[in-house]
Structure 1
Amino acid sequence: MESGTFYVCRNINNRSGPRTQSRCKDEEKAHKQRGSRRLVLISVGLGLICILLLVFIILLNITITAERDMIKSYKNTVEEFNRTINSLQHNNTDLITEKHQLQNNFNSLSQKNLVLETKVKNLTAEKDQLQRDFDSLNKKGLVNLFMSTELKSWSDSRQYCRDRGADLVIINTEEKQRFISSLVSERVWIGLSDRETEGIMKWVDNSPLKQGFWLKDEPNNANNEDCIELNYNREEPGWSPLNSWNDHSCSEKKKGICEK
């Protein structure tokens, strides 16, 4: 019987007897049994609901935990991705800087290459010219030249040549000047001076100078310079195969170019 519920068995005619009372007790008992079953069903239902709620809460907690872990993993992935992007940006900046440096180096090398190509062309042209001069001098029998082996003054260098049946060289043509310039790798005496009369240049055969191949601003007769040298230094300002003469003190010691 449900709590708070009372069951009353009455006889319609207000009469009672043993059978009636017995039947009334049976009905009351049956009614109590039905109430007990309802209570059990309700209890079982409530238990199932609690279990379902517990399962739902557990599943919800698992879902929340999984989502939290997923969000944390996503944040870590994003942070790692950002670090990777920053690293790539730094690397890209370094590569751009290196590219610019390489480009500058390439431009510099290209300019140097152009300069070298120009020098090669000039040297090739000079070589061809010297070859032509040599061939011309060879035909004229004017290549019988040799250099002294000792450093001497202009006079002693001339004597060195004369002791060997020669004299300091006389240069009176462009082709001969080019040819001799190609032979020397140091400053050397040639057979020209104004020792006898200042300002009047003469060759060792007493012939006057007709064509000179002077360096810029030479001769200048600084410190009583009366003898002429051929300057090989290609770095000298204004130097060229046709501009290499310089007046110098006759006492200076250097080798000489002899000619038979």
Structure 2
Amino acid sequence: MELDNFYQNVGRRNIKDTFKPRTLNHRQDEERRGSRCLVLMTVCLGLICVLLLVIIIFITAERESLVKSYKNSVEEINQTINSLQENYTELTQKKLELESKVTSLSDDLTREASKRGYFFFISHELKSWSESRQYCRDRGADLVIINTEEKQRFISSFAKERVWIGLSDIENKHRMIWVDNSTLNQGFWFKYEPNNYEGNEDCIELNPTKDPVNNWNDQPCSHKRKGICEK
């Protein structure tokens, strides 16, 4: 009996001694694994922080670049607007100066014409032949009739561009008629004119740029010209 108790006690101590070191090793392994996980987590968090920092730096740099680009674009637009405004002001001033010169020339023409017994004025707008005639008629006049070389030279001396005169064959093809229904007796044509090019040139313009006398040319009536009115 006593022997049995002895062996049982010895066996229990041996079992306890056997399991005791294994439990310590298991805890140490768990601690090591926990330490490794902690290290990995720390490393991962560090990498994430570095990555976030890089992203933030990149976004900040891009934002600054966009802001700078936007400011440069705004400055360029403002400079363009200012330049356009200056050009517009300059063009407006030149337009006013030209209108003043045209008005002055028209007044000179009127004064000189009055001395010779004529009363002329030039329209300020580009219009078709019919529109130019209506412009004159609205002002108690009509497109000019030129029946002498003196009158032809006089008008050519004042007209600085192509202008409509009161001659056409709109109503009578191949027969030139003045606006007062009188027949053309003497013409002051360019060489080889009138030629009725493509069968569509029924109205007569005066072009003083080449010859002060022989400078008439037939043109399509829809072309835009100023007109010389006679009252």
TM-score normalised by length of structure 1: 0.44
CA radius of gyration, larger in = 1
Please identify which structure carries the higher helix content.
2
